[in-house]
Structure 1
Amino acid sequence: MVSTPAVGTNSGCQYLPHPTTAQPSPNQYLLPLTAQVNSQDHLQIGGCDVPALVRQFGSPLYVLDEQTLRTACRQYRDAFKRYYPAESLVIYASKAWNCLAVCAIAASEGLGIDIVSGGELYTALQAGVDPKLLYLHGNNKSLEELQLAIASGCTIVVDNWFELQTLAELTHGKNLPLPIMLRLTPGIECHTHEYIRTGHLDSKFGFDPDQLDSVFQFISQQEGLECIGLHAHIGSQIFELQPHQDLAGVMVQWLSKASQHGLPIRELDIGGGLGIRYTESDDPPSIEEWVRVICESVVKACEAQQVPLPKLIAEPGRSLIGSACVTAYTIGSQKVIPGVRTYVSVDGGMSDNPRPITYQSVYRAVVANRMSADCTETVAIAGKHCESGDIVIKQAHLPKTQPEDILVVMNTGAYNYSMASNYNRVPRPAAVLVNQGEASLILQRETYQDLIRQDCIPERLMSKDKG
């Protein structure tokens, strides 16, 4: 890991207010907590001049603000302690961005880690996370992944009959029972993209609620399995609170039914899904409000069902990491189509942020080296890939741009690096963690050599000298 002082200056900075202050401009809602404009009229995050970071580390560049990430972790953790009268645990849904540094930060704030593959499990373990705070999810875990999870001592969230029967076989005759949770499909739909709705019955995830009695009965007969909890998740990028209230009631009913089968259910994992603000029109609940509603709903449901309060677990991902990161690009070519559109191209695109082409996601951007310039143009920000749909932002309201300007796209912490690819054999970007004027490299930029590292070519295909 490389740690260097930020290039640039911390003096003469103008703080960019957040929604708690009066009349912020639209973009000020969307930047990390430490965002400032310095005396050079540059965007500064974590005390680091963003254009200077690009000169030092190259672009595209993920810039992760440590203070914003830690603040969100603490807001979740402290709100659960405030509103829930029994034990609680916040688990970071690391599929949003799983790497050593991010896992280590979440764990240092007292959070567990939600993992969905052997690779994410291995990364969390290498980051020093306590295995007892790791929860393995997934609808088709391999035998190797299950064996690694058992050996490491993490909790396995069982998704289906095949997995449940496999675990029963793997643990048969073992001295200590394996702690598992069950993922169930609650049949609750939310107003979000079809691909990120996971709570409705027509989903690849989880047991059907109609199978509950037979599932509970099967587990009660397995000496090698100990069902300690129930899990459900209703989707992602959700602004509504009512579905979470409904989920609490449904899950506590399941909890009550489990007790009838003698299962020692003591944990209830209500998933995550709280959305973030990607544009000025987005209006998600605050972390505080979301947690309060969850806690009050679970307490009310437990009182109605006359069951003891379980350990309450939540799995936020996007709302922890999404707003903590921006992506810095360097602007290159432009194409003006009179009366139609102007395309402004950047040196990245769908390989470092596939969400616009995959989910039709909308982002906002600023020109980081001319923060006070008036926004006079509406342009399309085009990626560099050989794909017509590689458009980062369809309508970006910006100052008049020129080559070598630094474009910063905001709120790129969730599902950007984690879904990044080598499409067109483009190396994946570097990432830096910024905090109090120091920039630390947490992901090295891939090289062309990295791209062919796993390639194999049969000897008969190698070119031979003609002579």
Structure 2
Amino acid sequence: MAVSGAPGRPPRPTLPTLPALPDPATEAVLGSGLIEELSYALGGPFHFLLPDAFRDNLDAMRAALTDAGVDGFVYFAKKANKAAVWIEQCAALGAGVDVASVGELREALGHGVRGENLVVTGPAKGHDLLRLAVRQGALIAVDALDELDAVVTTVLNGTVRPARLLLRCLPPDQPHSRFGMNDAELATAMDRCVQAGDAVRMEGFSFHLSGYAVQPRADLAARLVDLCLKARVLGLEACRISIGGGLPVSYTDANSWQTFLGEQNSGHYHAGKSFSSGDFYPYHSPAAGADALRALLAARPEGHGQSVAELLKDSGVELLMEPGRALLDRAGATVFRIQGVKDREGYQLLTVDGTSLSLSEQWFNSEYLPDPYLLSRDADAPAGTYPASVGAATCLESDILTWRKIPFPRRPRTGDLLVYPNTAGYQMDSNESPFHDLALPPKVVVDHTERPRPRWRLDRHFT
């Protein structure tokens, strides 16, 4: 198949485009012929996963911590992708996993991650989850006073080890967040931890902060360091803080992103659909992934004369983080086969063999914007500019993968493949559904290291 839309060979657009950043690993898979074979063998849409990218992203984050002289530990936010291969990577590389359910916790343990390398987040955790977390020695981010009471009760009712805790702080700048405790509740929680004695190990504080701005995260990290110092006066251990996730990913370059935002309007979408620019994920970030972590560590919190890194070192506080999307940057893509083509005025409407729920931005009144690659079945497909929107194989009028009219450089035909790049972070799993009894797209782990041709296996997710 001929690959169209790959980096380095941009189309001649008459409509806004958003090309993905070049990724040699993905491009090597696309050029190998493997995608066509997998589409035939699996008989429907599928995701392919690139575990080497996960390792590289983890190594980069660890290097950022080391270069700043900061003690830190990285937990992978499992909610970002259900595939077992990421947990296998964490077990092999000594990273942790952030879980929020009994199922996620069991999956992590079953694939080799030690209990003490798990952090349990999420609100209002159930009894079964708390009991399992305590027994396995996992760190628990306590979100409320009643949850703290439930943890203490779990220990007192026969668990043989103390509960390891972080107390989650309600961000002052996001007072309506449903996550975390306010100042009065935190003070009460610390007192209850003191009263609980050996039943708990209060190891520090955490927060859940929406958005990707560096300064608010730096300010809140400094506040948590101050809370650790106050907690130590009470006799609590308080030696760690967790800043959660929030490390952005850049899917495209700055110029492409700004041009797209400036040009796009309702006329560029099927049925005149309109989107607010504010609802789009920020598909470009000046500092992304490990570079965003470096920027955070170098930032100077408001009211402090030191950087975040210096505050952590001087106070002897370890930095914990729970990235998901940032660890999965360029770690996979999603493949659909075109099974129908309709001509509309000035563009085509493609129907593929899957649903929009395989790309989860629709959950946020948005859509996944990076341009898909067109793998033409026939090398003689007409070249030019061929705008097309992409619909799904269901009976719902609104089931559209891409409302935008994408200017493909070849005419899409039935049997061609569409490959949406860089979808491993949240796109594959947040909204998937077997509507119409359609099978969920399987995940394929691709190994292309030092091989003339990639090899593959199905992911080993338990469910």
Give the TM-score band, short-chain normalised: 0.7 to 0.9
**Deviations 1:289-342 (Å, cap 9, x if unpaired)?**
212122234863586699523111111101111431110000011233325x53
Q: 1:388 aligns with which of 397, 405, 410?
A: 397
Instruction: Assess if the C-alpha contact under 8 Å between 2:134 and 2:155 holds in 1.
Output: no
Counterpart in the other structure of 1:59: 44
SS in 2 for 1:421: coil
SS in 2 for 1:345: strand
- The unaligned stretches of length 5 or more in structure 1 are 1-7, 9-14, 19-25, 189-199, 447-467
Deviation at 1:357, TM superposition (A): 4.5
Which amino acid in structure 1 is aligned with residue 163 of structure 2?
L
CA 1:277 to 1:302, structure 2 compared with 1: closer, same or farther past 3 Å? closer
Deviation at 1:31, TM superposition (A): 5.5
**Matches of 1:445 and 1:424 in 2, distance apart?**
23
SS in 2 for 1:71: helix
Counterpart in the other structure of 1:361: 367
**Matches of 1:131 and 1:221 in 2, distance apart?**
26
The residue correspondences of 1:316-465 to structure 2 (distance < 5 A) are: 316-338=323-345, 342-363=348-369, 364-369=371-376, 374=383, 376-395=385-404, 396-398=406-408, 399-419=410-430, 420-436=432-448, 437-442=454-459
Counterpart in the other structure of 2:291: 289
**Matches of 1:210 and 1:369 in 2, distance apart?**
62
**Deviations 1:169-198 (Å, cap 9, x if unpaired)?**
11127664211111112234xxxxxxxxxx
SS in 2 for 1:203: coil
**Deviations 1:123-157 (Å, cap 9, x if unpaired)?**
00010011111001110211111111122221111
Deviation at 1:256, TM superposition (A): 2.7
CA RMSD of aligned residues (A): 3.2
**Matches of 1:154 and 1:358 in 2, distance apart?**
32
Instruction: Check if 1:218 corresponds to 2:192.
Output: yes
- Of 280-289 and 377-386, deviating more is 280-289
Task: Tell me: higher relative CO, structure 1 or 2? Use CA pairs within 8 A at least 6 residues apart.
Answer: 2
**Matches of 1:181 and 1:445 in 2, distance apart?**
29
Which amino acid in structure 1 is aligned with residue 457 of structure 2?
S
Moved over 6 A (4+): 370-373
The residue correspondences of 1:197-346 to structure 2 (distance < 5 A) are: 200-223=174-197, 224-235=199-210, 238=212, 240-279=213-252, 280-281=256-257, 282-284=283-285, 285-297=287-299, 300-301=307-308, 308-338=315-345, 342-346=348-352
Which amino acid in structure 1 is aligned with residue 356 of structure 2?
M
Instruction: Assess if the C-alpha contact under 8 Å between 1:100 and 1:126 holds in 2.
Output: no
Deviation at 1:407, TM superposition (A): 0.4
Instruction: Check if 1:107 corresponds to 2:91.
Output: yes
- Of 375-384 and 88-97, deviating more is 375-384
Deviation at 1:250, TM superposition (A): 2.4
SS in 2 for 1:222: helix
**Matches of 1:145 and 1:119 in 2, distance apart?**
9
CA 1:359 to 1:247, structure 2 compared with 1: closer, same or farther past 3 Å? farther
- Of 113-122 and 375-384, deviating more is 375-384
- The unaligned stretches of length 5 or more in structure 2 are 10-16, 258-282, 449-453
**Matches of 1:121 and 1:203 in 2, distance apart?**
25
Q: 1:68 aligns with which of 31, 53, 56?
A: 53
- Of 204-213 and 138-147, deviating more is 204-213
Instruction: Assess if the C-alpha contact under 8 Å between 1:16 and 1:35 holds in 2.
Output: no
**Matches of 1:115 and 1:174 in 2, distance apart?**
20
Deviation at 1:91, TM superposition (A): 1.0
Instruction: Assess if the C-alpha contact under 8 Å between 1:74 and 1:109 holds in 2.
Output: no
Instruction: Assess if the C-alpha contact under 8 Å between 1:349 and 1:384 holds in 2.
Output: yes
TM-score (norm. length: structure 1): 0.79
**Matches of 2:293 and 2:365 in 1, distance apart?**
27
Identical pairs, percent: 24
**Matches of 2:417 and 2:313 in 1, distance apart?**
58
CA 1:128 to 1:373, structure 2 compared with 1: closer, same or farther past 3 Å? farther
**Matches of 1:445 and 1:390 in 2, distance apart?**
29
Which amino acid in structure 1 is aligned with residue 407 of structure 2?
H
Deviation at 1:28, TM superposition (A): 6.2
**Matches of 2:27 and 2:429 in 1, distance apart?**
27
**Matches of 2:106 and 2:384 in 1, distance apart?**
46
Instruction: Assess if the C-alpha contact under 8 Å between 1:356 and 1:393 holds in 2.
Output: no
- Of 365-374 and 171-180, deviating more is 365-374
Deviation at 1:403, TM superposition (A): 0.3
Instruction: Check if 1:162 corresponds to 2:172.
Output: no
**Matches of 1:384 and 1:216 in 2, distance apart?**
54
**Matches of 1:141 and 1:375 in 2, distance apart?**
55
CA 1:385 to 1:265, structure 2 compared with 1: closer, same or farther past 3 Å? same
The residue correspondences of 1:72-87 to structure 2 (distance < 5 A) are: 72-83=57-68, 85-87=69-71
